[in-house]
Structure 1
Amino acid sequence: MVIQIALVQEANWELYKKQKAAEAILYEKQKAAEAEKASADAKFYACQQASNSALYAKKKEAEGITALAQAEGFYLNTLLKQLGGNYTALRDYMMINKDIYQEIARINAQAVNGLQPKITVWSNGKGGEDGSNGAMKDVAGVYSMLPPLLKTVHEQTGMLPPTWLGTLSDVTP
Structure 2
Amino acid sequence: MNALTTTEKLKAEFLSKASVQYETKVQEANWELYKKQKEAEAILYEKKAEAEAQKASADATFYACKQEAEAELYAKKKEAEGIVTLGNAQGAYVSTLLNALGNNYTAVRDYLMINGGMFQEIAKINAEAVRGLEPKISIWTNGSDSGGEKTEGAMGMKEVAGVYKMLPPLFKTVHEQTGMLPPAWMGALSEKSP
Q: TM-score range by the shorter chain?
A: 0.5 to 0.7
Q: Which amino acid aligns with 1:64?
A: G
Alignment correspondent of 2:33: 15
- Structure 2, unmatched stretches of 5+, are 1-18, 140-194
**Quick check: which has more Rg, 1 or 2?**
2
2:129 to 111, 127, 130: 111
**Deviation readout 1:99-158 (Å, 9 max, x if unpaired):** 22222223223322221245699xxxxxxxxxxxxxxxxxxxxxxxxxxxxxxxxxxxxx
Alignment correspondent of 2:93: 75
1:93/1:119 CA distance change after superposition, 3 Å = closer
Cα distance in 2 between the residues matched to 1:69 and 1:24: 66
Alignment correspondent of 2:77: 59
If asked which structure has higher relative contact order (CA below 8 Å, sep 6+), I would say: 2
Runs of 4+ in 1 over 2 A off after TM superposition: 117-121
Equivalent positions of 1:107-146 (< 5 A) are: 107-118=125-136
Cα distance in 2 between the residues matched to 1:42 and 1:105: 57
Alignment correspondent of 1:101: 119
Cα distance in 1 between the residues matched to 2:38 and 2:91: 78
- Structure 1, unmatched stretches of 5+, are 122-173
Cα distance in 2 between the residues matched to 1:5 and 1:91: 108
State which drifts further: 45-54 or 69-78: 45-54
TM-score by length of structure 2 reads 0.58
Q: Which amino acid aligns with 1:112?
A: V
How far has the Cα of 1:73 moved from its partner? 0.3
Q: Which amino acid aligns with 1:72?
A: Q
TM-score by length of structure 1 reads 0.64
Identity %: 66
Cα distance in 2 between the residues matched to 1:30 and 1:104: 71
